[in-house]
Homo-oligomer: A and B are copies of this chain.
Amino acid sequence: MECIVLDEKVHYDGSQISSLWAYNLKGVQYDSIVAFRGGCDVKIEHMIDLEDKRMGDSIYSTDMLHFLIEHFDSTDLKLVYARQRLFTSIVAESLSDTGIVTTRQGDDLFVNGKKLTISIASTSSVSQKIHFGINVYHDFYGNLNDIGIDENKAVSLLADIGKRYVAEIHDIEKDLRKSRPLDVI
């Protein structure tokens, strides 16, 4: 698994959650986390969370940090959701190391009582993907600018968070290769 930070801005319209997007964009042939900055306006046809669709929610932000994680090792929904929650914790840890305290509720982070992030996870029959977005600026929701993270620092989060997730997955893969099976009573 590797982390790829895009130099260019990419506008997130929801098509990027599709399986094999990273391959199509960059020829990526390993599990990956692709991180980039850009606006967010998810089109109704790309909404994965049916609650958003039912509610007619707009998922809109002018400026976000985006992370798109893709694993091809499993299509198990339980696993991609556990990984999504773990990723959310990793984002909180990265922010905490820059002095920002957040509160996690499932796959959401809150700062000063305001929702700072969005996230969704799902599978196709070939891969599992997670999208995670953090507001850089926002008029209504929590955002990095309001809590004193300037642009440079915000951009540096792309690589920092990406690397932490890659390290976590590598660490897990190593740990599970030194544990014997459970006994049974």
> Nearest chain-B residue to A22 (Cβ)?
B177
Alpha-carbon distance A69/B138, docked complex (angstroms): 40
Per-residue CB proximity of A170-185 to B under 8 Å, as 1/0?
Answer: 0111111111111111
Report chain B residues within 8 Å CB of A27: 54
Alpha-carbon distance A30/B173, docked complex (angstroms): 8
- How many copies the complex holds: the figure is 6
Report chain B residues within 8 Å CB of A76: 74, 76, 79
Is A121 close to B, CB under 8 A?
yes
Alpha-carbon distance A107/B54, docked complex (angstroms): 34
Category for how many chain A residues contact B: 35 or more
Distance of A130 from chain B, by nearest CB (Å): 11
> Nearest chain-B residue to A174 (Cβ)?
B29
Alpha-carbon distance A107/B175, docked complex (angstroms): 10
B19 and A182: CB pair below 8 A? yes
